[in-house]
Amino acid sequence: MRLRVLAVGQKMPAWVDQGVEEYARRLPREMPVEWLDIPPAKRSGASVDQYRQMEAEAICAKLTRDDHLVALDVAGKAISTEIIAERLDQWRMQGQQVSIVIGGPDGLHARVLELAKERWSLGRITLPHPLVRVVLSEQLYRAWSVQAGHPYHRGN
């Protein structure tokens, strides 16, 4: 399984990079997560949809035909740590290439949402883009800990 996170945005605050790196460091060698920054569209008087479209082009340029695309979307399916753990296990067993996409401040363009095989919601609250990176990183680690029977996850 190859797992990548494509995140719109650059130059994250140090606390974001530290949080993502902390959970990535805890993952075993067998489950590396590659984090790719997608440059946000330059704000220059275009419409929000045009910004989304420019970002969608940059996202799609990083995808391959074999990628199983998961889009993080507030309108997506509410997920739990246990669901993420199940999906990781399925992807690993199938040897899939998975790309999880975090949109920019304006969200994801319809083109990316249409390409997505799955749309996940981290909840109905609006989270700042940098925080989503840390939350996703932690959840990937937590999901691995569920699979591995590691004591980090103590959920019922």
Strand order in the sheet with 97-102: 33-38, 2-8, 97-102, 67-78, 118-121
Closest residue by Cα to residue 43 from 106, 101, 122, 108: 106
Q: What's residue 40's pLDDT?
A: 93
Q: What's residue 153's pLDDT?
A: 67
Asked if pLDDT for residue 15 goes beyond 70, the answer is yes
Asked if pLDDT for residue 155 goes beyond 80, the answer is no
Q: What's residue 152's pLDDT?
A: 79
Residue whose entry in the numeric block shows the structure tokens 């130059």: 11
Beta-carbon neighbour count of residue 20 at 10 Å? 22
pLDDT in tens, 27-80: 999 899 999 999 999 888 889 999 999 999 999 999 999 999 999 999 999 999
Q: What is the DSSP letter of 37?
A: E
Residue 17 vs residues 122, 130, 134, 136: alpha-carbon distances, Å: 20, 9, 8, 13
Beta-carbon neighbour count of residue 140 at 10 Å? 24
Q: What's residue 127's pLDDT?
A: 87
Q: What's residue 105's pLDDT?
A: 86
Give residue 65's Cα distance to chain centre: 18
Contacts of 32 (CB under 8 A, 6+ apart): 3, 24
